[in-house]
Amino acid sequence: MTDEIDVQATAAGLRQAVGQVKRRLRNRASDLSAPESSVLSRLDRNGPDSIAGLARWDQVTPQTMGATVAALESQGYIERHPDPHDGRRFLLSLTASGSAKVRDIRDAATADIAAALREHLSPDEIRLIHDAAPVIERVAQFL
């Protein structure tokens, strides 16, 4: 079947569609900047991490990440704890307020997507997206 389908064009279409959804959600999601939102999401998914670890994930310098972390700390969303394995380092983790913020952002994004599905797509189109979502997630695992 892949012989009949232009895989390159399919990949380009998927990248474009996912990028557009991501940009539109980011632009309306919250009062946080994209880097701040990324850090909160990363800490929520992966647990505590250092500034250097977060910087590697987001492909920025530790200095840039330090500014993002400072902003999140000042808002009460993250806190520092000594690293139990290396006394020279600190690990960052979400506060209860930070966890609630991540939930609020995700809930709002989910509600926006659900509203768009309900208002603009047919039941067959919704079923198609429902069936494709796990496959798209599998693609993400290989990137």
- Per-residue pLDDT of 120-141, as tens digits, reads 999 999 999 999 999 999 999 9
User: What is the residue whose two structure tokens read 């806190």?
Assistant: 79
pLDDT at 128: 97
* pTM > 0.75: yes or no: yes
- Per-residue pLDDT of 79-89, as tens digits, reads 999 988 888 88
User: What is the residue whose two structure tokens read 């067959």?
Assistant: 124
pLDDT at 29: 57
pLDDT at 1: 53
- Per-residue pLDDT of 95-108, as tens digits, reads 999 999 999 989 99
pLDDT at 31: 84
Check residue 31 and report its DSSP letter.
S
- Per-residue pLDDT of 9-36, as tens digits, reads 999 999 999 999 988 887 665 788 889 9
- Per-residue pLDDT of 31-70, as tens digits, reads 888 899 989 999 999 999 999 999 999 999 999 999 999 9
CA pair distance 139, 42, nearest whole angstrom = 19
Q: Categorise residue 76: left if φ over 0, alpha if ψ from -120 to 50, beta otherwise.
A: left
Instruction: Give me the residues paired with residue 90 across strands.
Output: 82
CATH of segment(s) 7-141: 1.10.10.10
pLDDT at 87: 82
